Amino acid sequence: MPRLMLLDTPSLYFRAYFGVPESMTAPDGMPVNAVRGLIDMIATLVRAHEPTELVACMDADWRPAFRVAAIPSYKAHRVATGHEEEVPDTLAPQVPVIEQVLDALGVARVGVDGYEADDVIGTYTAQATGPVDIVTGDRDLFQLVDDERRRRVLYTVKGIRNIQVIDEAHVTAKYGIPGRAYADYATLRGDPSDGLPGVPGVGDKTAAALITRFGTLEAMMAALDDGASTGFPAGSRNRLNAARDYLAVAPAVVKVAHDAPLPDVDVTLPVKARDPEALVALADRYGLDNPLNRLLAVLAP
């Protein structure tokens, strides 16, 4: 049975950039810490978890129009100019190098116009027939865990060599909510890092109590509409009523898409470089021999 690994590639290369010293440079002095770090991350992940399929999921649009239309504050604090994301000056030139390296290796690299990497991950997860490992440092993707369908998150918050495996039991133990209810919980409490306001006055404990009591945001709103007098913590009914406009649009922002139009690409884990000449040229230009040799050794059957 295929075992699919989905990389939240922007999350990983940002982590690599901040985790590997900028003293890691190409022969011309260009920092390549994010490139080297990501290559080593992939080698570690493949060695430890042995996927048969691998997709490097990308942000074709890091701030999609449909999310901004619903909640204009979505990621607004991270805009540099126009629609461009604020990215460190020494990271931005490394992203095209990462893309070239992945292509030369033969690792499927997938972004979909109008969607974030999270949405690509959500769609592959929905379509997969076998187990899925989602590698990310972003809690938003906890919404995809599903023990029955063998979907789990490999959470990199403590580093790639100290992965936290997130399943339904972990979500329940950490947040006090049903294992598959993270998106509804996050909608209620909000997420300042993404510019999501949440329901004013509803924090972690109240959000957890509401979702645990009603199971889903939809069921909670139905109970509110019906005038239910029980199951609502003190004061929360008024707060929820006041936030109806937000609650009507927020789920479409918080929940990852399951229907992004994925391209028809081969996601099989490569066992050798797709384009050896291009890979050698990249290794020479950017000083990547050691990390690439480590990865190729892991990929070889």
Instruction: Give the start-to-end residue ranges of the domains of the chain.
Output: 4-168+257-299, 182-254
**What is d(CA 283, CA 291) in angstroms, rounded to the nearest whole number?**
9
What is the reported pTM? 0.96
To the question of domain 4-168+257-299 being in CATH 3.40.50.1010, the answer is yes
Give me the pLDDT at residue 229, please. Answer: 67
User: Would you call 107 helix, strand, or coil by DSSP?
Assistant: coil
Single-letter residue type at 223: A
Give me the pLDDT at residue 153, please. Answer: 98
Q: Are strands 132-136 and 53-57 parallel, antiparallel or unpaired?
A: unpaired
What tokens were used for 204? 């972690």
To the question of domain 182-254 being in CATH 3.90.1150.10, the answer is no
What average pLDDT does the chain have?
95
Give me the pLDDT at residue 235, please. Answer: 86
The whole-number average pLDDT for the span 91-96 is: 97
**135 to each of 51, 154, 161, 215, 232, how far by Cα in Å?**
12, 5, 12, 27, 36
User: Would you call 165 helix, strand, or coil by DSSP?
Assistant: strand
